[in-house]
Structure 1
């Protein structure tokens, strides 16, 4: 029987691994490490570091493979993503078949947590043949961001909303909430909002040695965050960030 473990590994700090994650890593016959190009080699390096620190079973094999690149030319965003997920599932299936065959336990180390703005579960359900799937939860970037700023996410008795940069930019401030968490923001979408009365808590490379955090009134720190974000992207070739916005009552 073939099984697949999607193991949440937190945001880059090996100390964020749960005991369940360590056990699942050591139970795997094959660990797949995706490569996302030279600009994002840090992500593969951290997965290698985690394996080197916690993997104790010599029988476990580690295999690296190149992820397909998403087509950015077409206008239909959802269709682009759907086709990309199909291509990734085909790459996973190919690597599993070539390296493990039809039985054994495969593991993928998932950045953050497989449940939140991560498509690993959707991709896993497209595998052919379809394996038995289990999920090991991990520390999310939202948890890491709140911890870095020593910030409680919700106000007492109040809701919050988790959304994307695209949705914030296209739709503006969501109705009915005073706290918004923004992820998958490729272009600092907070710049599309009137900054008066808004506070921001921002972080990039959370849990990694090069972590950056900034906070304050959006009108005061927004431009500095944009500059720091661009400088970090230029230095590393990629950036992974998220932020919390709150309206002052």
Structure 2
């Protein structure tokens, strides 16, 4: 459920049309019709932004900003899934920046404690952005156009997502474990692209966390990342960070 729908203000008639566009876009995505869903998300983001500009109360502007951010996140995600990586990063970055403006000066742990729904949105937006940034990094690297700035942007997004997922994880709630593992894998993937050894403990930790998870695609993603790490790094480094056989033990491992 979209977080704002839990609020009375979410029933405001001005939001009905863009809310319907988002809902229809999500249905199209479930059917694999990404190209048809994209304009719906783009139109919804523009409509939410217009509504937000008309609000005067800070609370109302915040509600609109969260809608804009989530619609922009969907725009970036769909463009990424369509292979339009160079067009996916801008809306994703806008989404992260918008959410950051709702809790200025607060760290991930504070936001997760006081506003867990906002923290979850922040984590999702940052992870989607990191995915787009890392895909674009691969493309530009093949073209010989990779820059330190591009690499830094991908790392920053991945680390933001990871900080929020770390803050949101509940060791007694297994449903919070896969999102943390996903963020670890995304950060590990970016670091792997940059041949940073810190990728290995992130990937092995994620693999351990997922041992008890019922998420075949995410488990497969972890195994692929681990196999790639084994090809990139020395056997000694891999052996120094074994996969924990107990997910709870993996949860307790520090993130480098």
More helix by share: 2
Q: Work out whether the TM-score is over 0.5.
A: no
Higher relative contact order (CA 8 A, sep 6+): 1
Which structure's residues are more often strand, by fraction?
Answer: 1
